Structure 1
Amino acid sequence: MDQFKRMAIFAEVVATGSLTAAARQLGMTPSAVSQHLRQLEQSLGLALLHRSTRRLTLTEAGERYHAGCAAMVAAARSAEQSLARLRDEPEGELRLAAPIGFGGLLANALAPLRDHPRLSLRLLLDDAVIDLIAARVDIALRVGALADSTLVARKLGSMKRQLCAAPSYLAERGWPAKAQDLLSHDWLGGRPGAAGGELLELQGPGGEQETVRMEGRVQATQVTALHALCVAGWGISIVVSDDDRRALADGRLLPVLPGWHLPDLPVYAITPRRGEQPAKVRHALDLLAAWFNKPRPADTRISVA
């Protein structure tokens, strides 16, 4: 490492034309610069500079050696500048993992990133949990309780949930009037983490608490499939996606037990490393946090899965 330092000092002496100017540029004393040059020449067994009281000139060996030293310094500066851009300006590839139902949310929340032409975005949408390290993921969005891990979690907001069913299903099977009535209905389940049935903890209009474990008649691991099944009248499900919200708005789905509330689910941004993050990650996290904290009408539900 000392040899690299001496090579850099030698390149600076040649660039500035004097020991004094190089020392000033490097924040060193002229005697320290001179000592490093002597040590460099001793290690090489060749003189690199002709010294006189008025000027310094390169020897033949110095001319040959300087080209490599100058290239080394230029490469180091270029590497520093590249890292500075990565630190200060979003660029490179941002790899973001999220459940399938997050597609529309991400398109809206991250829209300002379009203004950074050196940044590309790769979305890994999957309802299964992705290994962040293996997939080189910068940010993963996850919903609900988190398992203990070395990953870094930042809470972005919460997801409101609502039971729903198709009008055709409710016309055939009837409307549940209380939480326990759900046990006699067909449940659409199979979301990640719902093995062995889904435990619904409901709060009634008077503050009463009911817990119901629902076993799925039909199970699917993707929210798009659950949505299609619900609209087709297969059973009762939970509003979790943009498709569900649109279906509720146009009447293809109806709210079930509207006076009863499921607890909100927290939404987290997970990053694989602690410490300073590149600008692309910092900007994306800030945009996601701002989107989740944006005021919305009381009946608007954050659409995630």
Structure 2
Amino acid sequence: MLIENLTDITIFIRVVATGSLSAAARELDLSLAVVSKRLARLEERLGVRLANRTTRRFSLTDEGLEFHERCVRIVADLEEAQDLVASRRRAATGLLRVTATAAFARRHIAPRLPRFHAQYPDVRVQVLVTDTVVDLVEAGIDVAIRQAALPDSTLMVRWLAPNYRIPCAAPGYIAQHGEPATPQDLLHHHCIVMGDPPMSTWRFDCREALGEPVAVEIRPLIQTNDGEVGHAAALAGSGIVLKSIWDICDDLATGRLKGLLPQYHSPAPAIQAVYPAGRHAAAKLRAFLDFLSAELKADPCWGVANRPARDTVTA
């Protein structure tokens, strides 16, 4: 059913957000009677009851829950479209707060900041390094660069670059222990497992169209909850590590590490920008995301070794 007047939907969203009709009426500077009438008119138009309510209590029905979720997305999309057009006239200025993991910030954000500031000298960038998922709204952060979308459905997501993992080792380790020919051969090698809990099951997709996915339960020689420690151990020749291509592309290019099992790749979540709805209108954020997206797409990093057949590999 086409709903021509979005005002009723906006009122409905605010009632849900504030938790009562009276609170929404105060926030919207409307009378309680108007809010109640608008909500009743919306229900009549839809032919369903959206909520059980009094002036003090408001609880959504199952239909109301589903309708509210969709309305939030629709209104956010409309606001984004409107703000995007309007923001074209605004200059990129002010403080931009970005969060990313330590490894990604060090390898792919910090080295690019001089080029970004050459284009946008009036944007100040604050990079907040953390490996934990933070509440972006509560922390006042404009955007998070992550290798997976955050679970909060109210957040906006922009795909930036593909990602995949490859097994790799230092030349010294390979000279001493040789290379695995198949994923199952990893069971006979010194392996380094990372994560908390540790990612001890290594999964591989075959580059051949008819090849079957393979899962190997690794018996690690070294186990760590820190990716940088595992990275350093592999560089030192301690064993084989499974790392994201963005994390080791420089090591592969310089020969400090060598990619193994070239006929396989391991799927990994794509690199994405995640930001609160409403922040997208800021010219500074749009400028940063456009810049970073173009930089990552032009980076030869993803073509160094074992590139999968498709460019978009997700978990």
TM-score band by shorter chain is 0.5 to 0.7
Q: Structure 2: give runs of 5+ residues left out of the alignment.
A: 1-85, 308-315
1:40-55 alignment, distance < 5 Å: none
Q: 1:208 aligns with which of 211, 216, 219?
A: 211
- Compared with structure 1, are the counterparts of its residues 222 and 91 closer, same or farther at alpha carbon in structure 2 (3 Å cutoff)? farther
Amino acid at match of 2:179: W
Corresponding residue of 1:125 = 129
In the superposition, relative to structure 1, how do residues 293 and 167 fare at CA in structure 2: closer, same or farther (>3 Å)?
A: closer
Contact 2:163 2:245 in 1 (8 A): no
1:81-96 aligned at under 5 Å gives the runs 88-96=90-98
SS of the residue corresponding to residue 215 of structure 2 reads: strand
Q: How many residues align?
A: 218
Tell me whether 1:300 sits opposite 2:299 in the alignment: no
Q: Residue in 1 aligned with 2:59?
A: none
The answer (yes or no) to whether the contact 1:200–1:214 under 8 Å persists in 2 is no
Q: SS where residue 271 of structure 2 aligns?
A: strand
The aligned residue for residue 97 of structure 1 is 99
Alignment of 1:59-208 (within 5 A): 88-102=90-104, 103-107=106-110, 109-110=112-113, 111-144=115-148, 146-191=150-195, 195=198, 197-205=200-208, 207-208=210-211
1:69-117 deviation per Cα after TM superposition (whole angstroms, max 9, x unaligned): xxxxxxxxxxxxxxx9998122221111112222232245552334434
| Letter matched to residue 174 of structure 1 | G
Gaps spanning 5+ residues in structure 1: where?
1-83
Measure the CA separation in 1 of the matches of 2:211 and 2:245.
28
User: Tell me, what secondary structure is at the counterpart of 1:90?
Assistant: coil
Going from structure 1 to structure 2, the CA distance change for 1:95 and 1:186 (only over 3 Å counts) comes to same
Matched AA of 2:265: H
1:217 corresponds to which of 198, 221, 225: 221
Looking at structure 1, the residues matched to 171 and 205 of structure 2 have their Cα atoms a distance apart, in angstroms, of 22
Contact 1:187 1:216 in 2 (8 A): yes
Moved more, 237-246 or 209-218: 237-246
User: SS in structure 2 opposite 1:261?
Assistant: strand
C-alpha change, 1:216 and 1:97, in structure 2 (3 Å) is farther
Separation (CA, whole Å) in 2 of partners of 1:144 and 1:203? 23
CA pair 151-85 structure 1, distance change in 2 beyond 3 A:
closer
Computed over aligned residues only, the root mean square deviation of the Cα atoms, in angstroms, reads 3.2
Residue identity in the other structure for 1:125:
V
State, as a whole percentage, how many aligned pairs show the same letter: 32
Q: Larger radius of gyration, structure 1 or 2?
A: 1
